[in-house]
Structure 1
Amino acid sequence: MEVSPVYMQSDDSEQDRPAYPRVFPTGEARKSDHLKAGLCVDFPVSVVLPAGGTGERTGLQTPKQFCPFLGRPLISYTIESFERVSWIQTVVVVVAKENIGLMMDIIQRFLHKKVLVVPGGSTRHRSICNGVAALGEQRRPAAHKPKVVIIHDAVRPFVDEDFLHKIATAAKEQGAAGAIRPLVSTVIATTSEGYLDHSLERAKYRASEMPQGFTYDVICEAYQKCTESDFEFGTECLHLALQYCGTNAKLIDGPPTLWKVSVKTTCFRMVLILLTFLSWSFLVSLQDSEQWDRSASRVADIASALIRDRNPAFVGQLLQA
């Protein structure tokens, strides 16, 4: 598949980055230097962020990955979480063609250093495939194929280096690795007439999450072999690796910070995310009272707007929390 990368930002000094807003220190940023040194990897790792969604499920005019928070698009926070990791060489952001200009503006405005922008496809899997193919393009500047590719959601801004290290090393050893979380709801099967058929034993099942990691050869082969049906309706990269490469992924319990900004109806969860944003802001704002006041005011405004749009039961649930 021929993919034309659109934009590559040069790798300049971290000191040139804007100081505000910067509210997402990774877990490793708060740990000692000797521990961070122990997390270095001796193989090249790149990231693919599929960000071609249109915002249809959220009901928003602006795709959620480009929605601003504290004056900065959500996707910018996600990118920075990966750019802080020294052993990640490239972050491929796959966006719809009509949003390429917007993405380039974000890169320039917030001085992202490792980003390669690639046009997306008509589905999520087609976009991921385009991103993986771009990493193998030998004509792009300073190109060398990664050993491991990490696939992540553009709207999951909380990414800790220690967990990325677990995913990357497990992917190198096993061929594939992915984050999982316990199910929070019981999953049931229905009959064709709309009646209860059976329910799954929740303790035996897990929810598949991001990030997921693959050796480049495995994920590339999986997409080369998958069908049109996979491209149109498939939802799980780990399943493609198993089905077409025989690669059984190592599953790793993910941390509770793997928030994903999801559909518009999950307003209560959105408030929890906003409060988490505020907590992370506090960690880097202790010496900047004006920044803290701005952050608190903005979170309060958004939370109030969410409450106004919901029914009294939602307000009571929020107050109880």
Structure 2
Amino acid sequence: MGKRTAAVVVAGGAGRRLRPKRGALRKPYLILGTRPILIHTLKKLSGSILVDEIVVVCHRQDIGRCRSLIKRFKIPKIKGIVAGGRERFDSVFNGLKAIGENIDIVLIHDGVRPFLSHDLIKRSIEVALRHGASLAAVPVKPTVKFVDKKGFVVRTLKRDLLWEAQTPQAFKRELITKAYKRAGAKGVRATDDTALVERMGHKVRLVTGSYDNIKITTREDLKLAKVLLKDGR
């Protein structure tokens, strides 16, 4: 492609739903198979010839653990390990500030989504190069209801127009940097990176993701992840 890509891996969540005991491991470091979830994710990204460098954003208290695991499992292409912020917005912003100056495309990915494919990485980058921003997503399967504050159904949403957002979310560097700077100046926060680009009036192109590309947030997710890993996903 002739362009350089940096992956910003967000692994700074407290993960309270998977961390009931005080002092227990945060979810990126829980073992899946024979290695931590985060290491599975980093191996997928570092194994792609399209990813030139990786910045890992983790909880400040986990920087030493993260650095040790990366060394132990010999993960290449690590540009830096930086401390996350109070919210996901702050963590991603810290990651963006740490990428190399010669980067053209930024791929933002959840550290607890270990089942992304090389094909999804490729398509996400290609679409971002063409359209400026891409979002991995899958069609919503269940019927979705829009309800009022009292819990009454207002209407049934058209399922064929609803997609569940995933990561990676890829952007031209100048676009996502501008979006974060503008949001930061205005005090705007979002849990989804593409939402900040949308606020600028820039259209985001969908890339079909995978139902296997789960985010491991609950104990049920972890059980499913073990099945997917066993099946060689």
In the alignment, which of 194, 202, 214 is matched to residue 247 of structure 1? 202
User: Which stretches in structure 2 are left out of the alignment for 5+ residues?
Assistant: none
User: Which stretches in structure 1 are left out of the alignment for 5+ residues?
Assistant: 1-40, 136-142, 282-321
Greater Rg by CA: 1
- Equivalent in the alignment of 1:71: 34
Paired residues in the alignment total 228
3-state secondary structure, aligned to 1:88? coil
3-state secondary structure, aligned to 1:238? helix
Which amino acid in 1 is paired with 2:180? Y
Question: Given the two structures, how large is their TM-score scaled by the length of structure 2?
Answer: 0.91
- Equivalent in the alignment of 1:230: 188
Asked whether the equivalents of residues 50 and 122 of structure 2 are also in contact (C-alpha less than 8 Å), the reply is no
Provide the alpha-carbon RMSD of the alignment. 1.7
CA distance in 1, matches of 2:207, 2:65: 35
Which amino acid in 1 is paired with 2:81? V
Which amino acid in 2 is paired with 1:56? R
Which amino acid in 2 is paired with 1:177? S
3-state secondary structure, aligned to 2:52? strand
Which amino acid in 2 is paired with 1:119? A
Higher strand share: 2
Which amino acid in 2 is paired with 1:104? R
- Equivalent in the alignment of 1:180: 137
In the alignment, which of 186, 199, 202 is matched to residue 159 of structure 2? 202
- Equivalent in the alignment of 1:101: 64
Alignment of 1:133-144 (within 5 A): 133-135=97-99, 143-144=100-101
Asked whether the equivalents of residues 174 and 247 of structure 1 are also in contact (C-alpha less than 8 Å), the reply is no
Asked whether the equivalents of residues 33 and 226 of structure 2 are also in contact (C-alpha less than 8 Å), the reply is no
In the alignment, which of 203, 209, 226 is matched to residue 274 of structure 1? 226
Q: 1:64 Cα deviation (Å)?
A: 1.0
Q: 1:271 Cα deviation (Å)?
A: 3.1
Which amino acid in 1 is paired with 2:192? E
Which amino acid in 2 is paired with 1:230? V
- Equivalent in the alignment of 1:114: 77
3-state secondary structure, aligned to 1:167? helix
Residue 218 (str. 1) matches residue 175 (str. 2): yes
Higher helix share: 1
CA distance in 2, matches of 1:272, 1:121: 29
Asked whether the equivalents of residues 133 and 172 of structure 2 are also in contact (C-alpha less than 8 Å), the reply is yes
3-state secondary structure, aligned to 1:193? coil
Asked whether the equivalents of residues 186 and 200 of structure 1 are also in contact (C-alpha less than 8 Å), the reply is yes
Higher relative contact order (CA 8 A, sep 6+): 2
3-state secondary structure, aligned to 2:232? helix
User: CA 1:127–1:271 in structure 2 vs 1: closer, same or farther (change >3 Å)?
Assistant: same
3-state secondary structure, aligned to 1:262? coil
3-state secondary structure, aligned to 1:251? strand
1:213-270 CA deviation, whole Å, 9 max, x = no partner? 0000000000000046533xx12211211212x3211111113331221223xx2x54
- Equivalent in the alignment of 2:216: 261
Question: Given the two structures, how large is their TM-score scaled by the length of structure 1?
Answer: 0.67
Asked whether the equivalents of residues 33 and 229 of structure 2 are also in contact (C-alpha less than 8 Å), the reply is no
